[in-house]
Amino acid sequence: MHDETSLRYAGWRVVLACFLLALSIFGFALYAQGIYLVELERLNGWPASLISGASTLSLLIGNVIVIFTDEIVRHLGLKRLALAGIACLATSMVLLPFAAAPWTIYAAFALMSLGWVGMGTVIIPAVVGAWFVRRRGLAISLAFLGASSGGIIVTPLLMVLVGHLGFQTAMVAASAVLLIFLLPTTFAWIGPPPNVCATTASADQFSPAPGTSICRGEIVRRPAFWTIVCARDHRSGRLHRASDRYT
């Protein structure tokens, strides 16, 4: 087995898979929100407040469910959770342009929030971190380049597709491309390193180290936690305001 400093090390394929996960979830579920708002308003004549409310609710649901990621991983494993997130994101992308009633928009965005749980900022460092020690910071940083690349690559390409094919066809095509690229890489590369003992972890689960667990109540009582949360919410607000410029 190659050392993690070698380009032949299998962990770098895991980084690539996580890069694609971040590229997809941030590109389609965050930066493309402005496109969804404009196109859904044009197709159905619904007020922007209705559509943006569904979008906001999806982010809220995702932030609540992600609190229980540890329990979900313990039952499903990281690979199954990532695959479930991909399926939820792809399904929501197909449902959105064909929404015929307001409740269908909320259902589609709710599915998108489940995609965040399986493909977002909690899962990616958990997967990559298990493969690296000396190059862990670099590996996680490279994986999360997909997040910013989602706004640079995915959203402009989606705008071009919508302009040429129409919103419905473009979303179905984008969903198909997402599945073609993400399903094989997730099946092949997402998982624990081969030195994880089968007696202590299942085929695609990672067990936390003894003595490192911490209860949620203790976390929310720490000022450091709220400084991170408030900064993240402030940044999310700026992103939503930026997306409004598309309108």
Convert 100-113 to b/e letters by CB count within 10 Å (16 or more is b): eeeeebbbbbbbbb
- At 147, the pLDDT band (50, 70, 90 cuts) reads very high
pLDDT tens, residue by residue, 102-146: 899 999 999 999 999 999 888 899 899 889 888 888 999 999 999
Q: N- to C-terminal Cα distance for the chain?
A: 52
Q: How far is Cα 115 from Cα 53, in angstroms, rounded to an integer?
A: 18
Give the residue-averaged pLDDT of 162-183.
Answer: 95
Which among 179, 42, 59 has a CA at the least distance from the CA of 121? 59
In the structure encoding, which two tokens stand for residue 189, read together? 């590369």
**pLDDT digit string, tens, across residues 26-36:** 999 999 999 99
Residue 232: the pLDDT is: 53
Q: pLDDT, tens digit, for every residue of 55-98?
A: 888 888 888 888 888 888 888 888 999 999 999 999 999 999 99
